[in-house]
Structure 1
């Protein structure tokens, strides 16, 4: 059975959302709704509460603003796990790269991403499907939190030392890899997502906290210098955008915490001052 766990921002979910799940899943399931309309829980606490209430052998964490387009997607998901026993976490978007720098999973070159989604953003709707060759599932090191299917028998829970509503997907991906299991992205399941996450100061500060706590795990991803520099530049841009120039000077020195490469540090410090002085 599949336990579908939702952290709901409302005290009642949209009936159309539930009907869509019921009409498309094609396998036994239960819907575990954690009412977080009063912001009682962090996302980490809410999902852990959902895990405690769940009865299924597959835990499926999803956003409440999606629509499934794939018929019998539950049967497909079960088949993916049965046919790929080394995989324990499957999503519909993710990356084969994640550096130690405080950035999103998407902050890498497109060649490292795998995505299959219909995404709404600022009035535009686009279908994205790339990053797959002949396979239906491709290995990643981190997936997006809009849809995350986890094998329950790993006994993984979310890290409640982390707060707020960001980086839970990074947390879960790292936890699975620590168990020596694979993380993957499938192109067999298509969903439509009606919103996009908001990047702001709170997101950036949460990302910094997460990456400090998990830098040893992230270091094992063995990112190369080009990947680090790409992500490091994104981190610098986020600092300047969300913290302003004055506070960004303080965060310049955090670059030293997220890389041990002299080449990377030198390149990023040069990039920072060029951006800082608008060169």
Structure 2
């Protein structure tokens, strides 16, 4: 029933995950694990598309290898979500609002962020992060986090992962938002995993999500949240000008994401920020000229 596709480069994580899946997915549940060996050989989009082409079953799960399942019998639960009419993709983390400005799945207003996961890292003790109330099993979303994304093979064939995106960043945002244009995405709250690493939102990540959003407009029939839009754009500007020279060209690049539905006060606040960056551009640009 389920083909589990893993872009793999850490044998110790992969081996413990395979054992964990065998022990938790459910008795008599039919599945296969497709390992794509990928120690920086190819981008994750190419690895995932290659794995999907090899898949035998009608349902696909794209999974990071540094996770463990905590829920017993999760295979049947996952299929029940994917079997719902108009379902596109499901994940364990995502958001139900897409600002005009580029950002990852996580946005600046917690009411739009949905997650059900145990987060583990070398720095902190494991902690359960959940936005689900008792009895809730799914929340509508648009963007999904790439640690766990499941979909039907029929829907996948319409979307595919975008192999123009190289590396390992932005692929999940691109895939889930394009999926949300045609179908309904959900974050699910009845399959618990433990994740053993944290994200690394560096410049490569930032540039990739910016590139993704050049081609995907935030037209998801959502009511405009002006506070989210303003904050998201100001955060985007701050990040953009920390990675790129302030110039006429780069200012134009940021303006393409300017929120259209803002009140006069919020537009004025953003424009004041532009004047600030322009005024102190020499100071900001010094770090680039000294490199």
Structure whose alpha-carbon radius of gyration is higher: 2
Residue 174 in 1 paired to residue 173 in 2? Answer: no
- Structure 1 position 265, deviation (Å): 4.8
SS at match of 1:149: strand
Q: Deviations over 1:212-237 (max 9, x none)?
A: 1223xx23354432221121122123
TM-score of the two chains, using structure 2 as the length reference: 0.84
Counterparts of 2:214 and 2:229, CA distance in 1: 15
Contact residue 6 and residue 64 of structure 2 kept, 8 A: yes
What number of residue pairs does the alignment pair up? 271
Q: Judge conservation of contact 2:107–2:113 (CA < 8 Å) in 1.
A: no
DSSP 3-state at the match of 1:14:
helix
Structure 2 residues without counterparts, runs of 5 or longer: 284-291
Rounded to whole Å, the distance in 2 between the matches of 1:136 and 1:117 is 13
Alpha-carbon distance between aligned partners in 1 of 2:254 and 2:268, rounded to the nearest angstrom: 10
Deviations 1:62-110, CA, capped at 9 Å, x for gaps: 101001000011111112223x322221111110011231211112310
Question: Is residue 57 from structure 1 mapped to residue 49 from structure 2 by the alignment?
Answer: no
Could you say what secondary structure the match of 1:88 adopts? Answer: strand
Residues 1-279 of structure 1: pairs in structure 2 closer than 5 A: 1-10=1-10, 14-26=14-26, 27-37=29-39, 39-82=40-83, 84-121=84-121, 123-124=123-124, 125-132=126-133, 134-154=135-155, 155=157, 156-179=159-182, 181-215=183-217, 218-222=218-222, 223-241=224-242, 243=243, 246-247=245-246, 251-259=250-258, 260-261=260-261, 263=263, 265-271=267-273
Cα distance between partner residues in 2 of 1:170 and 1:221: 18
Closer/same/farther in 2, CA of residues 248 and 94 from structure 1, 3 Å limit: farther
* C-alpha separation in 1, matches of 2:122 and 2:268: 37
Q: C-alpha distance in 2, partners of 1:33/1:248?
A: 45
CA distance in 1 between partners of 2:121 and 2:10 (Å): 22
User: For 1:167 and 1:236, how far apart are their aligned partners in 2?
Assistant: 18
Cα distance between partner residues in 1 of 2:225 and 2:69: 36
Distance, in Å, in 2 between the alignment partners of 1:49 and 1:34 is: 8
- Please give the secondary structure, in 1, of the residue aligned with 2:177: helix
CA–CA separation in structure 2 for the residues paired with 1:250 and 1:12: 46
- Give the 3-state SS of the residue equivalent to 2:42 in structure 1: coil
Whole-angstrom CA distance in 1 between matches of 2:16 and 2:99: 39
TM-score (structure 1 length as normaliser)? 0.88
Q: Superposition RMSD on alpha carbons, in Å?
A: 2.4
Mind listing any 5+ residue stretches in structure 1 that lack a counterpart?
Answer: none
